[in-house]
């Protein structure tokens, strides 16, 4: 490596190290804001977060940093592999933010901060009108950022999508989701017409927060979540945040009459946490630890939550523990009834509580609406009505109010392009589950009481290169194939065809 290249690398690393101090503080404050911050303190705390985020952004606008980063990209072949990844990452970020000034960034962050507070108030009051002005402000900010973004995009939405799932396009998603609708909607109708009736009365029996906390602790042990490098608490909208190299926080929500909700939230968020805890530690040293696409991340959380968590093998492990912790719920319930209830298909209003089959339909609805918003094809005043119409058309259910309709998700308070990654995650994990089955007896591992074996395979195949390559390359390296929805759709058709006797039952 030439001396000038070494100096440029040191210049870049010094700035990134300082920026990370601000960003780390922001993650801690954001975690506080979404968990225990008092309601009246949220707006002020949001302003502080926006200020610190802007400081980190401004550091990366320093001319010396930008010049060094540009030279590193030009001379990237001199660098070791992980620093090459860093140079390419900075180049992509430069194209996206080059024309965004610190002043514009600061103004937009205030918009997103206020939108979160307004969304929370609107959700609590079940009144979209409270959030509507902020949603329009978020949309305006996003469009301004799109206009400043360098690069060639077929649609405005492609620019935003690229931030979460680089390389993915609206055209590709239209094709993928078109295939999903062609197969999932008829499958759902066949299930709804099935004569097979699944008992679910016990799912709404009352449980205490303490019982749910006890279950959460047990689940984290089964997941092999490192409690010395992570923590759990509760929040309105569950999430996971990797605050630092050795600090990964997950959250859940306890509902007194939905004991399954926290169980599968913990497994889902635990999957995200494992991705953070088990990624190569050198990723932090080279400042590439946040390179994963959201589709990659959601594939892992959905894999643990559904492919493992709702499997017959894992539920045979969970059932006796659930009877022990929730005796008032399961004393008169058989293991088979428990398995069937956990996997019952019932079109519902709330995405986070949706069954494995209808979940992707929830995502398609959001995708279709946010495309309209970003591409300037929507009327904000009638957006809740459009939401309700799509729920009725695709799932046959209609929200009674805005809380269980358009206000249920927090995502639009910070922009658009994230939602499709949930569905892409389903497709990725179905593909690598097929590959995993060649190396592991997944059923045996799921029933063993420890996910250590599954975690080792995931570490070696799924986590190892996620920060180094784009999603198309990543899934091809793991499976030897390009992205397809067919593994996922085949899995759903086989599993639910059997559960609901669509081909006949003995």
Q: Let me know if 3 is exposed, middle or buried by CB neighbors in 10 A (0-12, 13-18, 19+).
A: exposed
Are 238 and 305 spatial neighbours (Cβ–Cβ below 8 Å)?
no
> What does the alpha-carbon distance between residue 500 and residue 356 come to, in Å, rounded to a whole number?
14
User: With the C-alpha atoms ordered 495, 496, 500, 503, is the resulting torsion angle positive or negative?
Assistant: negative
Give the 3-state secondary structure of residue 115: helix
Tokens of 443: 């059923």
3-class SS of residue 249: strand
Q: In this structure, how many other beta carbons lie within 10 angstroms of the beta carbon of residue 112?
A: 20
DSSP state of 303: I
Instruction: Determine whether 428 is exposed, middle or buried from the number of CB atoms within 10 Å of its CB (0-12, 13-18, 19+).
Output: buried
Query: Tokens standing for 133?
Result: 């002005």
Q: Is 90:69 a contact under the CB 8 Å cutoff?
A: yes
- Confirm whether 353 is a catalytic residue: no
Per-residue tokens: 260: 């399954």
- Range list of β-strands (E), 133-239: 230-234
For residue 322, which of 330, 311, 314, 334 has the smallest C-alpha distance?
A: 330
Among 23, 34, 53, 269, the active-site one is: 269
Q: Which residues are catalytic?
A: 269
């Amino acid at each position: 490596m030439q001396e000038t290249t070494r100096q440029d690398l040191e210049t870049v690393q010094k700035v990134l190290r300082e920026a990370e101090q601000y960003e780390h503080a922001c993650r801690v404050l954001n975690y506080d804001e979404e968990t225990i911050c008092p309601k009246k303190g949220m707006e002020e705390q949001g302003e502080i977060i926006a200020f610190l985020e802007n400081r980190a952004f401004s550091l990366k606008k320093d001319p010396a940093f930008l010049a060094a980063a540009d030279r590193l990209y030009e001379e990237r072949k001199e660098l070791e592999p992980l620093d090459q990844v860093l140079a390419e990452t900075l180049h992509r970020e430069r194209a996206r933010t080059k024309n965004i000034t610190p002043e514009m960034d600061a103004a937009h962050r205030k918009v997103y901060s206020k939108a979160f507070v307004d969304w929370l108030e609107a959700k609590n009051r079940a009144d979209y009108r409270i959030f509507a002005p902020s949603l329009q402000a978020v949309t305006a900010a996003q469009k301004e950022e799109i206009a400043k973004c360098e690069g060639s995009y077929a649609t405005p939405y492609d620019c935003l999508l690229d931030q979460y799932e680089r390389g993915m396009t609206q055209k590709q998603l239209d094709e993928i989701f078109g295939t999903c609708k062609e197969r999932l909607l008829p499958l759902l109708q066949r299930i709804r017409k099935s004569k097979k009736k699944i008992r679910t009365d016990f799912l709404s029996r009352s449980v205490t927060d303490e019982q749910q906390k006890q279950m959460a602790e047990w689940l984290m042990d089964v997941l092999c979540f490192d409690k010395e490098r992570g923590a759990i608490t509760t929040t309105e909208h569950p999430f996971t945040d990797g605050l630092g190299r050795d600090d990964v926080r997950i959250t859940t929500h306890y509902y007194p009459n939905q004991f399954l909700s926290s169980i599968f939230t913990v497994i889902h968020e635990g999957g995200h946490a494992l991705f953070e805890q088990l990624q190569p530690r050198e990723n932090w040293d080279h400042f590439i630890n946040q390179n994963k696409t959201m589709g990659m991340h959601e594939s892992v959380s959905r894999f643990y939550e559904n492919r493992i968590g709702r499997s017959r093998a894992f539920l045979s492990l969970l059932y006796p523990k659930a009877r022990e912790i929730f005796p008032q719920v399961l004393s008169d319930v058989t293991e088979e009834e428990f398995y069937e209830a956990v996997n019952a298909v019932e079109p519902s209003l709330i995405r986070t509580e949706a069954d494995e089959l209808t979940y992707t339909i929830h995502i398609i609805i959001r995708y279709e609406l946010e495309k309209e918003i970003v591409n300037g094809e929507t009327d904000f005043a009638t957006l809740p009505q459009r939401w309700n119409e799509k729920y009725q058309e695709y799932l046959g259910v209609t929200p009674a109010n805005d809380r269980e309709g358009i206000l249920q998700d927090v995502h639009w308070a910070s922009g658009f392009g994230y939602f499709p990654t949930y569905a892409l995650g389903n497709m990725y994990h179905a593909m690598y589950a097929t590959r995993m089955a060649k190396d592991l007896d997944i059923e045996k591992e799921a029933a063993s009481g420890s996910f250590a074996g599954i975690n080792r395979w995931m570490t070696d195949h799924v986590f190892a290169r996620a920060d180094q390559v784009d999603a198309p390359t990543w899934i091809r390296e793991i499976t030897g194939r390009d992205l397809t929805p067919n593994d996922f759709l085949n899995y759903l058709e086989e599993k639910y065809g059997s559960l609901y006797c669509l081909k006949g039952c003995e």
